[in-house]
Amino acid sequence: MKIYLNGEFVEKKDAVVSVFDHGFLYGDGGFEGIRSYNSLVFKLDEHLNRLYETLHTLMIDPKMTKDEMSKAIVETLKINNLTDAYIRVIVSRGEGDLGLDPKKCCGMANVIIIADKITLYPKELYNKGMEIMTVSTVRNHPGAINPQLKSLNYLNNILGKIEAGNSGYNEAIMLDHQGFVAECTGDNIFIIKNGQMSTPSQGILKGITRQAVLDIAADQKIPARECLLTRHEVYVADECFLTGTAAEIIPVVKVDGRIIGSGTPGTITEQIREEFHKRTQTEGVKY
Ligand code: PXG
């Protein structure tokens, strides 16, 4: 496996950065998780826009244009002979001293691109649907670390994931600072009730897969809205599913012990999944 590290391709064992990197010391940096299918990078521009927005707020300069980053991603896929891959782009603050102050860092961000294969959940969960719970760990307050930042500080989500795992669940709903349903630890959430699709509007990472699903809904004339959602509305929904680059689209059939709809993946969920799959095979940046 060859890894892109600051403009060069190196073997996995040589892909190392300093222990003084503030990404390691403080989670000071940003990242993206991207997928390619059938030699097409899905929604590459959208992922790069989100990455550069995160870096803008963090005031980290990767010293690469989006175009150069895009080329580096494609090169990483080609050099590793991957037609279907999960791509992790990491931009960390770079080396500094042991203090917090980013001004004392060298100003040279570390840019890393790893391309590999992953499947997040067992295949049968996609067919049967998943059971999830709500965890007591609240999603970051938008005035603290805005959930829209895809920063290297993922402790909020990791604490949620640990809580879910301790109770035997793979994934969990996190509420926002006002008690509304926000999202899951690494996925956005959707419900469908009486033909109407809804997804939370606040306290979330604006998922690229979430937007792809909203676009499919618009094209297929399925009414869809971004709004505030309560747990009650999730419990009484006809269908529920999660979206994420890693997870793709996964049906949810039970939440906090409440059966959702018929307890099997819903028909609109399946319709959306099918179209999503079709688009991933035919849309994207060719390499
Ligand atoms: N919400 C959060 C908090 C995320 O981290 C999503 C939603 C989905 O966004 P996209 O753009 O991917 O549709 C994410 C992204 C993992 C893992 O191992 C998950 C993400 C990132 C990195 C790792 O579960 N999810």
> Which residues belong to the active site?
150
Residue 119 has pLDDT above 80, yes or no: no
Specify the 3-state DSSP secondary structure of 170. coil
Q: Is residue 240 part of a domain?
A: yes
Residues 172-209 pLDDT 10s: 999 999 999 999 999 999 999 999 999 999 999 999 99
- Ligand 1: list residues with CB < 6 Å: 33, 120, 157, 183, 186-188, 205, 207-210, 243-246
Residue 121 has pLDDT above 90, yes or no: no
Residues 251 and 271 in one domain: yes
Contact (Cβ atoms closer than 8 angstroms) between residue 148 and residue 186: no
106 CA → ligand 1 middle, Å: 30
Q: Is residue 78 part of a domain?
A: yes
35 CA → ligand 1 middle, Å: 12
Q: Is residue 287 part of a domain?
A: no
Tell me the pLDDT of the chain averaged across its residues: 97
Residues 76 and 198 in one domain: no
Q: In whole angstroms, what is the distance from residue 178 CA to residue 162 CA?
A: 22
156 CA → ligand 1 middle, Å: 13
Residues 92 and 181 in one domain: no
Tokens 């899905």 locate to 42
pLDDT at 84: 96
Query: How far is the CA of 43 from the CAs of 4, 125, 184, in angstroms?
Result: 20, 25, 21
Find, among 182, 129, 142, the residue nearest to 160 by Cα. 182
Q: Extract the tokens encoding 267.
A: 């028909």
Helices (H), 220-266: 231-235
Range of the domain at 150: 123-280
Q: What is the CATH number of the domain that holds 182?
A: 3.20.10.10
The minimum-distance atom of ligand 1 relative to the CA of 247 is 24
What DSSP string runs through 76-120?
A: HHHHTT-SSEEEEEEEE--B--SSS-GGGS-S--EEEEEEE----
Residue 67 has pLDDT above 80, yes or no: yes
The minimum-distance atom of ligand 1 relative to the CA of 161 is 24
The mean pLDDT value for 43-58 works out to 98
Q: Whose CA is nearest to atom 14 of ligand 1?
A: 186
Domain count, the chain: 2
